[in-house]
Structure 1
Amino acid sequence: MIAGSLFHFTNDLQTLQIILESQRLRASYNIEDIRGFYPDEQFLAIPMVCFCDIPLKNVSDNHTEIYGGFGLGFKKVWGIKNGINPIMYRTDNSLIAPYIETLTEETTSIFHEIEKLNEMQESGYLPEAENIYFSLQKIKTSQRNLIGFIKKYEVSAAKKANYYLEREWRWVPSSTSNKFSPSNSKKTRDEINKKYHLDPDFLNFTVDDLRYIIVEKNSDIVKAIRLIGSFSISEVEKGRLIQKIIDIESINQDM
């Protein structure tokens, strides 16, 4: 079943408050497994905002246990308008990896040939070589940005989750600055976000773009209403936000 909303989850009500009050989502670095894409690299940190394309009744099926019990459901038309796109899942034996690795190797090889040619020129860069060099730089950047929409197909026994079932969508800023990473641990991810993400990209939304405000428990609804009441927005907008609140406990009762 295809959902009518794109859901974004977080761990606590305080973070949900920040997102709602600012009406924007902050892109943060996520570390992707790129083994097979590059000969000497294993992980790539890419700024992004992640969503899942699953029906509302299924959001509590392991998903909230992994990503948090607080979230927002956005209209899918808003996501498409803002360049949010479904990702591609790759298996271990997929041809996607060797295709990208070939592109990487060939691009690097041409870079080296241009450098050799220019070393032979007393006057520096040949105009033709310089144009090719900048074209290759664009290809390299586009390739690494494209990797932000590719994820390994995995089944996590520890978390009892099949990540393919999330039907993940992503927003990867066009101005993204990717970083090769030594590992994909949470510690490394936190360090990269702290070091490099001083000027993050934001994805803006309005009250009209929201379909649901999801809280974990029925008792959290009152807390959410109080938080919304403190926002510096009109009373009409506050009322419209409050009408969108729904809790996971109630969702589970109706399943």
Structure 2
Amino acid sequence: MGLSSNTVTHFTKSLSNLKGILTENFKVRYCREIINAKSKTYDLLVPMVSFCDIPFSQIVNHIDSYGCYGIGLKKKWAEECGLNPVLYLDKHSSLTENMLLHLYKHLTASKSKVTELDSDEKCRFDIIRYTKNYQGDLNRIGKKAIKDYRFSDEREWRYVIDPKLDYPLFGNLKNITVAKIPEAKNMQNKKIETERLQFTPEDINYIIVKYESERDKVIETLEKVNAKYPHEQVKRLISRIISVEQLRTDF
């Protein structure tokens, strides 16, 4: 068995979130990304949709961290939509230090804000949006932080907004208190509320629910969106619904 999958999977915390994705496609949202280097920490908001490239036989730990509901799409779809694997950097590496410091020095030397960058400059800075620490603390809302979590095990693929569009490349949380972060995220998300990452029924390999009993609720959602999921497509997708209960026992 290979170390990667032919499917990229996005997980979410609730059935309602999954139904929203099936109905409205993926909403692009600014997510907090903390990148540690030897001499500096970069606390950013990055507009993204994240997926993992993990075989089902190894995916249980990821589910425990990110949610028991998900949708798996073909790797071909990911490539055609411009998704890219994340660049994992160790916080002690000179590469991390040199790359990030160089980019930020270039920014502050000519422009005071990311929003002032022109299209070419945005393209050069785009690499930051695909950067993540190899290992660090995993903080999830409502859950105890996991120390020294190995992010590279997720084999993340990430979608970000075209840097040439008229949106902030990322938001800087450097001078924002923890209590104000949700407000900062909401302000940024309003700017991109119409942005969607689209997919078709043919792109779907799996739909994941937590319990077997939730299959019917997903089927009802698919049947309600006739324009996107005609009857024949719904019949095909029913066979693609899999539960976390199955994943824990059969893979």
Structure 1 and Structure 2 fold alike (TM over 0.5)? yes
Q: 2:244 aligns with which of 225, 248, 255?
A: 248
How far apart are the structure 1 equivalents of 2:199 and 2:59? 21
Structure with bigger RCO (C-alpha 8 Å, 6+ apart) = 1
Deviation (angstroms), 1:68: 0.8
Q: TM-score, normalised by structure 1?
A: 0.79
Aligned to 2:142: none
Aligned to 1:54: 54
- Comparing 3-12 and 180-189, the one that deviates more: 180-189
How far apart are the structure 2 equivalents of 1:228 and 1:186? 38
How far apart are the structure 1 equivalents of 2:214 and 2:180? 32
Aligned to 2:114: none
Deviation (angstroms), 1:104: 3.0
Deviation (angstroms), 1:248: 1.1
Deviation (angstroms), 1:155: 4.5
Letter in 2 for 1:15: N
- Segments of structure 1 that go 5 or more residues without pairing to the other structure are 113-135
Deviation (angstroms), 1:89: 0.8
Deviation (angstroms), 1:52: 0.3
How far apart are the structure 1 equivalents of 2:59 and 2:225? 27
Letter in 1 for 2:248: N
Aligned to 1:27: 28
Contact 1:66–1:159 (8 Å) recurs in 2: no
Contact 1:29–1:48 (8 Å) recurs in 2: yes
How far apart are the structure 2 equivalents of 1:151 and 1:184? 21
Deviation (angstroms), 1:185: 8.2
Indicate the RMSD between aligned Cα atoms, in angstroms.
2.8
Letter in 2 for 1:159: I
> Does residue 184 of structure 2 align to residue 192 of structure 1?
yes
The 1:248/1:186 distance shift into structure 2, 3 A limit, reads farther
Q: 1:205 aligns with which of 174, 178, 199?
A: 199
Deviation (angstroms), 1:38: 9.8
Deviation (angstroms), 1:96: 2.6
Q: 1:166 aligns with which of 127, 130, 154?
A: 154
Contact 1:27–1:48 (8 Å) recurs in 2: yes
| Larger CA Rg, structure 1 vs 2 | 1
Deviation (angstroms), 1:107: 5.3
How far apart are the structure 2 equivalents of 1:101 and 1:143? 14
How far apart are the structure 1 equivalents of 2:38 and 2:28? 24
The 1:103/1:224 distance shift into structure 2, 3 A limit, reads closer
Deviation (angstroms), 1:173: 0.7
Contact 1:47–1:173 (8 Å) recurs in 2: yes
Aligned to 2:14: 12
Deviation (angstroms), 1:190: 2.7
How far apart are the structure 2 equivalents of 1:196 and 1:18? 20
Secondary structure of 2:54 counterpart: coil
Deviation (angstroms), 1:187: 5.1
